[in-house]
Amino acid sequence: MSEPIRILNLFTIMNRGGAETMVMNYYRKIDKTKVQFDFMVHRQERGAYDDEIEAMGGRIFRMCPIYPQNIFRYKRLLREFFDTHPEYRILHSHMSELGYFAFKEAIRHRVPIRICHAHSSPNFSIETWKEKLKVLPRELLARRIRRLTTDFFVCSQKAGNWLFGVENANRFVMMNNAVDTERFKYRYDLALKKKKDMGWGNKIVVGHVGRLIVPKNHIFLLNLFMQFHKVVSNSILVLVGDGNQRKTLMEKAQQLGIEDCVYFLLTRTDTDELYNAFDIFVFPSLYEGLPVSLIEAQSAGLPCIISNTISSQAKLLDSCKILSLSAGYNVWVKAMIIALKEKRKDTSSDIKQAGFDITNNAEWLTQYYINRFNGNG
């Protein structure tokens, strides 16, 4: 093979979200003499990963946002793109049902392999009736994209069931949200150093890594931490990530009187070190697919307390406890205190054993693309 197979990945923007981080984990490890990644994004501004993508030889193509007022322009841009880029034989969409428009144009241009990747499983039961009306177009597109998809990639059974329907479950291809277990392994000396560097030396650090958006359920987390802090007075809450809820959450922390012990660190590149500095990881999302940050936290040996709305496939270790969001704050606080009594250890080998180490998974994905490109598999 003289030139690598170029895979066109579809994203909104390559910022440090869960799906984006997962794909970058794979991109760093794939054999780039065989497979190369390019990206079609739907924002004009540069994303957090753009520099790294270009440094690894990836190309980035910018389209307009997929808003209703842009839809005719978007279709025209797609047509022009595929007219001028016949080299792509494999599309890999990470945009849930919004990949429909690119897939439809790809079929017109006889692109044979169209991978749709289910990364999350929305829980629409939590929405108001007004929100449910907004969901109808999503569900319509989800049904339509199933007919255009050749390969049904999923991060969990739950995510696949929503986007592709249970009737297609036998066609699901499980692509693990793998992480670099060596990078995220627990190191006692690093934990002490990072805590000291951050000024948290004598603190019990409750950690969370994720975008500051409604589905992550940070309001619940702030209320929970307020109750926990009453019992464990030397505790702090560290939130890593950014999003449209930042101002709301900062105001909520002030209202609860805990603003002095809640740290908003925004987007970071040192999450591996921060996981070491955390003492416990709490993840009460309203819905998820299979969150990368939860795999990273378990790889770092952290005791994890998570909501039962997250796929049970995300629980890789016994130190990860699942609780109902309706159980009440006292139940969560008690579980956190019990978890903190457990001796922390290096669990990276356990994560490898569970099949979530990036090296082996990247080898699998490289071969998958090659087989599909060559008409096998």
Instruction: Measure the N-to-C terminal CA separation of the chain; round to a whole number of Å.
Output: 19
What is the per-residue pLDDT for 306? 97
What are 163-195's pLDDT values in tens digits?
999 999 999 999 999 999 999 999 999 999 999
Distance, in Å, from the CA atom of 280 to the CA atom of 189, rounded to the nearest integer, reads 17
What is the per-residue pLDDT for 353? 94
C-alpha dist (Å) from residue 197 to 190, 273, 274, 316: 10, 11, 11, 30
pTM: 0.86
Model confidence at 375, pLDDT cuts 50, 70, 90, reads confident
| 107 has a pLDDT exceeding 60 | yes
What is the per-residue pLDDT for 125? 53
Distance, in Å, from the CA atom of 166 to the CA atom of 118, rounded to the nearest integer, reads 13
Shortest CA distance to 229 belongs to which of 258, 200, 250, 202? 258
Paired strand residues for 357: 179
What are 10-51's pLDDT values in tens digits?
999 999 888 999 999 999 999 999 999 999 999 999 999 999
| 116 has a pLDDT exceeding 90 | yes
Sign of CA dihedral 86, 39, 18, 53: positive
Q: Which domains does the chain have, with CATH numbers?
A: 5-178+357-373 (3.40.50.2000), 188-353 (3.40.50.2000)
Distance, in Å, from the CA atom of 347 to the CA atom of 196, rounded to the nearest integer, reads 23
The residue-averaged pLDDT of 149-157 equals 95
| 290 has a pLDDT exceeding 80 | yes
What is the per-residue pLDDT for 235? 97
Tokens of residue 59, six digits: 């190309």
